[in-house]
Amino acid sequence: MQNSKIFQINRAMRKISLLALLLFFSPNALANLIINEIMADPISDESLNEWIELYNGADHEINLSNYLIGDDQDNDTLEGGLYNQEGTIIPAYGYAIITDEATRVYNNFNVSNYAIRLYTDDSSIGGYGLSNEGDTIYLYDKNDNLIDKSAYKKTSEDLSWAFINSTWLKAEPTPGYNNNGTFFTDPSQGCDFQIEIILANTLFDNPDNFTFKIRASKAKGTTANITARASIQDLYGITIKEYKPFTNKPITRQGTSSGYTPNLKEGTSYIINANLTASCNDSNPENNFDSRLITIKGQTLETSSNIVIGNIYDLGSDKIAKFGQIIRLKLDIYKGDTTKNSIAVWVEDRKGNKLSKQSKTNAYKKYEDYSLTLPIQIEPNCDEEFRNGDYYIIAKGLDLEESEKIKIEDLTSSLCKTKTITASTSSSKQFGYELLEMPDKIENTLQTKVKLTNNDNVDSKIKIWSYVYRGSKCYSGEREENKKEILLTGRTSEIISMENHLIDAEPGEYKYKIVINKDNQKTNKEITGEIEIEEKPAVKKEQEVITEKSIKDLDESQITTNTIYKLKIQPKTVYESVNEKIKKLTFVFLISLSVFLNIVLFWKR
């Protein structure tokens, strides 16, 4: 019996111990994360200025990703201030501020810069925002376990409910700071406003990274009109910039100016000063001033130069240039420590043949940026040596070369109207050439004569050939098909006859070129011009030959006078009517009679 009682007692003790363990390890028993402060009744724009403060009393960080905050009507998921669920980690003994997604809290309240910024996935906290009549706030973890709940009573405007010494009390808001029990005071007892220069750092790499703001915030009291001024001075006390962040601006909790980014010199230190005055009886003037020392280091000067081909102007909507067109090219240039100054731009084909003259400019100053626009005159291509297609804009200088592809098509016809012969005659002290014969129009064969003169005492090896072309197509066979090679003796001249036979050339305007190479020099002499190919005369059809045999095959109705006259030989009589026979006999009879009478008369004499 006694053993039975002992067993029951032990069993009861185990149950109590197990219950104690469950209670001890339950979320609420171990809850180091608490709801610490609630601002439910801000002065204006309540839904945009309501907030809840959380406090992590643990000695380790807590990730609040996908935690829930809510009231008796609805719950909202917490999101971090950064993307990808980052920015939701509260460090040990740290604070987090929960607002709606379109909040103005950080503009109107003095929130600690160290507080983690959390947002609800809604336009308000809870069902319809935080109630001014009192409510209960719930905090759940990502597994829907209740972490904490806090009930607050009816609010007072511009005061928060703060958890102080295990009790909820009305107090001055302290978002992100310790709830120190500062209660609302009577305005007659004075106010306390403070000013702060907000900087991301005090050492900046370059002027573009330097920016600052001015913040005025209330430490105690009520709304007051604030005037704030700021300035930047160099180390000699000379004022560089002056600012007016606030002028008689009513501030309830906090006011923050827009950002200022002055263009300060590199490699210099500056002092930023700020001060404020309040319309209320400010009981602590010592915090009405702030001063910061900042330094602009500046970047190390880049020694390497750079050329960037920017916009190409005047191309039109199709982004295609024309042969003969003037285009403009924008260049962005940085000159480093190079001693070179000249920069040139031009257009060339894939083989490096230039299609324009060079446009040049100069960059003299080192470590300087330049933005230039240069014109490029593309050759009109009147002889149509260049095909439509892709070409390259080349920018070369400062020991650099950059290229940009450009499409060029069609001719600028107004530049190619004059019909000329180029370099038909040329002479020098050593060598000369002259076009002696050149027809204006041909049918299918072009014959030319060129006079070559060697004015030197040394013999020269001459190669000469000609061809007819239009565009990229040659219409006289291979371009060097009629090439001739001669040895031109010193102090002599020789006339060379050239002949080109045209293949599949329709009537119209074509180009011709005579090329002369002297002693295998790299540069050839050229004679170019235009030639017209005439339409060939129509071939006359032979008259229809109608033979006696073919006439026999015709019906009588098909035989006409025209049919007879188509015969190439004297037609023979195939059929003759009676009347025709009588006419012929009468004619013969009269002739015979006339001859007979003449003979008789002559005999009688």
Q: Given a cut of 70, is residue 187 above it in pLDDT?
A: no
Token pair for 605 = 């004499």
Can you give the pLDDT at residue 84? 47
Q: Partners of 10 in the beta sheet?
A: none
The fraction of the chain above a pLDDT of 70, given in percent, is 80
Please provide the CATH number assigned to the domain covering 321-416: 2.60.40.1930
Q: Which CATH architecture has domain 425-533?
A: Sandwich (2.60)
- Which strand ranges, in their side-by-side order, compose the sheet holding 203-204? 203-204, 289-296, 268-278, 224-234, 239-251
Question: What is the distance between the alpha carbons of residues 331 and 341, in angstroms, rounded to a whole number?
Answer: 15
The confidence band for 576, taking pLDDT boundaries of 50, 70 and 90, is low
Number of H helices, E strands in the chain: 6, 38
Quote the pTM value: 0.36
State residue 416's pLDDT score.
63
Q: Which residues contact 388 (CB under 8 A, 6 or more apart)?
A: 408, 409, 410
Task: Domain ranges for the chain, please list them.
Answer: 33-171, 191-296, 321-416, 425-533
Name the band, by pLDDT with cuts 50, 70 and 90, for residue 15.
very low
Tell whether the model's pLDDT for residue 289 goes beyond 60. Answer: yes
CB 100 within 8 A of CB 124: yes
Residue 60 has pLDDT above 60, yes or no: yes
**Of 429, 482, 483, nearest in space to 456 by CA:** 429
Tell me if domain 191-296 and domain 321-416 are identical in fold: yes
Q: Which residue has the tokens 């000063």?
A: 273
| 3-class SS of residue 28 | coil
| Both tokens assigned to 99 | 């607002």
**Measured distance CA(163)–CA(125) in Å, rounded:** 19
CB neighbour list of residue 586: distance below 8 Å, 6 or more residues apart: none
| Element holding 442 (H helix, E strand) | strand 441-442
Cβ neighbours for 176, distance < 8 A, ≥ 6 positions apart: 53, 95, 97, 111, 112, 113, 114, 115
Residues 6+ apart with CB under 8 A from 372: 330, 331, 333, 343, 361
Q: What is the mean pLDDT of the chain?
A: 82
Q: What DSSP assignment string belongs to 534-575?
A: PPPPPPPPPPPP--HHHHHTS-GGG--HHHHHT-SSPPPP--
pLDDT band, residue 423 (cuts 50/70/90): low
Q: What is the dihedral of CA 482, 487, 490, 494, to 10 degrees?
A: -40
Query: For the segment 196-243, what is each residue's pLDDT rounded down to a tens digit?
Result: 999 988 999 888 889 999 999 888 777 789 999 999 999 999 999 999
pLDDT confidence of residue 561 = 46
Select from 439, 479, 447 the least CA-distant residue to 463. 479
Classify strands 212-220 and 254-256 as parallel, antiparallel or unpaired: antiparallel
In the DSSP assignment, the letter for residue 524 is P
Can you identify the CATH homologous superfamily of domain 191-296?
Answer: Immunoglobulins (2.60.40.10)
Tokens encoding 123:
């336009």
**pLDDT, tens digit (0-9, with 9 covering 90-100), for 22-57:** 443 333 333 589 999 999 998 878 888 999 999 999
CATH of domain 33-171: 2.60.40.1260
